[in-house]
Amino acid sequence: MGTSNVRRRRRWRIAAVVFVVLLLLVTGGAVGVGWYYSGQLLEPDQARPGYPDTVTGVGDGTVSLAESRVSALPGTWGLVWPDGAARVGKVTGRSDGTVTRALEGSAPPVGTKVRVETSVWTSDPKSAHGLDYRDVSVRTELGDAPAWLVPGTSSTWVIAVHGRGGSRSEALRVVPALHEAGLPVLAVTYRNDAGAPASPDGLFHLGDTEWRDVEAAVRYATEHGARDVVLYGWSMGGAIVGQFLGRSGEADEVVAAVLDAPVTNWTKTLELQSRNRGVPTQLVPVAELVSDWRVDLEFERFDLVSHPPAHKPRTLLFHGGADGTVPVGASRDLAAASHALGWPMRYVEVPAAEHTAAWNVDPEEYERTLTEFVGSLNAPS
């Protein structure tokens, strides 16, 4: 598509935004709703989770929580409160609106507001697993971004890219398995993360600019001994990986990718979240138009089935069948289309897993699959 056609298309998109805004200003408050959900999507403060659950009791090796959809989820999870963290395991009892779970670590006092989250460890590789690591800085176009480097014996490095509103501690679940396989792990931060540079507008771009920070991380890896790179992305981290593979001049350095509950289609993700909130899905295009106006996004670019990346490395794709945040159907569609796209891909669906919780539900099976995949990278596709 020529430059003039691209500009013409952008003008029509802007005209459409203006038309929709004016129309809806006359016909109702839908624009306000669209702006609100655009803020939920793009503003970093809106992505940082709170503490929705409550400790109702503490026993010998157990903690009881007020029952909620999240507090009763199966598997191993982190338990986080404003000044502490622990780990909770299987549900050992349920009664009268209370869920009791196995506890590893110290529990906070009864009445403390807490959060149950997939990132089981919130510290660092040494504190979590006894693994030596170095704090390093990745030079991005916006400034230095902190990262953890866990050394290994291989010249193939893993670059771990967390999801929206998350942190590099998301990678701590898989660092031991990758380290055991000999792979160095670079767990990165990107623009708008704590300690990393802010984007010029202070907003998330959903992968549309964040991929450049991953590109800087790939350059860091190759400058420090990596011959090949594996990209590992969770949730929006998967969208970032997808954009890197499609747009970076460094993409050929990537020999494989691991995607865990990735956003491979933002429109379908927004439609699912709208249904979850009881918001008409007809408002999703409005939220997209407002978001496009605010940060110059092209949402169709993120549909990896219709717009697959130019570089398609061997990929392991995990998704939970119970994901209520990013639709599992989008990963199923990508996996089903992968052969036609020329994209070597293995798809693993974990039926009981919520968003990015495939490891939490069954760590042993997840790590076995991951270890098998990274161990096969020297084999032909």
Answer whether 345's CB lies under 8 Å from 335's CB.
yes
The Cα–Cα gap between 267 and 104 comes to 39
* Average pLDDT over the chain, rounded to an integer: 91
What's the CATH code, domain 125-265+303-375? 3.40.50.1820
Neighbours of 60 (CB within 10 A): 5
Two tokens at 191? 């623009």
10, pLDDT greater than 80: no
pLDDT band at 274 (very low <50, low <70, confident <90, very high): confident
Average pLDDT estimate for 220-231? 98
Give the domain ranges of the chain.
1-42+268-295, 53-117, 125-265+303-375
Of 239, 91, 218, give the one whose Cα is nearest residue 164.
239
| pLDDT per position as a tens digit, 127-159 | 999 999 999 999 999 999 999 999 999 999 999
Of 92, 51, 47, 54, give the one whose Cα is nearest residue 74.
92
pTM over 0.95: no
Q: Which of 103-117, 184-198, 267-281 has the lowest mean pLDDT?
A: 267-281
The pLDDT, as a whole number, for residue 5 is 64
Answer whether 253's CB lies under 8 Å from 218's CB.
yes
What 3 state SS string does the chain have?
CCHHHHHHHHHHHHHHHHHHHHHHHHHCCHHHHHHHHHHHHHCHHHHCCCCCEEEEEEECCEEEEECCCCCCCCCCEEEEECCEEEEEEEEEEEECCEEEEEEECCCCCCCCEEEEECCCCCCCHHHHHCCCCEEEEEEECCEEEEEEEECCCCCEEEEEECCCCCCHHHHHHCHHHHHHCCCCEEEECCCCCCCCCCCCCCCCCCCCCCHHHHHHHHHHHHHCCCCEEEEEEECHHHHHHHHHHHHCCCHHHEEEEEEECCCCCHHHHHHHHHHHHCCCHHHHHHHHHHHHHHHCCCHHHHCCCCCCCCCCCEEEEEEECCCCCCCHHHHHHHHHHHHHHCCCEEEEEECCCCCCCHHHHCHHHHHHHHHHHHHCCCCCC
Q: Which of 93-102, 108-117, 282-291, 351-360 has the lowest mean pLDDT?
A: 282-291
The Cα–Cα gap between 38 and 286 comes to 9
Q: What architecture does CATH give domain 53-117?
A: Beta Barrel (2.40)
Of 196, 187, 126, give the one whose Cα is nearest residue 161.
187
| pLDDT per position as a tens digit, 46-62 | 888 899 999 999 999 99
Give residues with Cβ within 8 angstroms of 323, minimum separation 6. Answer: 261, 353, 354, 355
The domains spanning 53-117 and 125-265+303-375 adopt the same CATH topology: no
Of 322, 307, 312, give the one whose Cα is nearest residue 353.
322
Answer whether 293's CB lies under 8 Å from 14's CB.
yes
The Cα–Cα gap between 157 and 231 comes to 9
18, pLDDT greater than 70: no
27, pLDDT greater than 50: no
Average pLDDT estimate for 92-115? 95
CA 367 vs. chain centroid, Å, equals 18
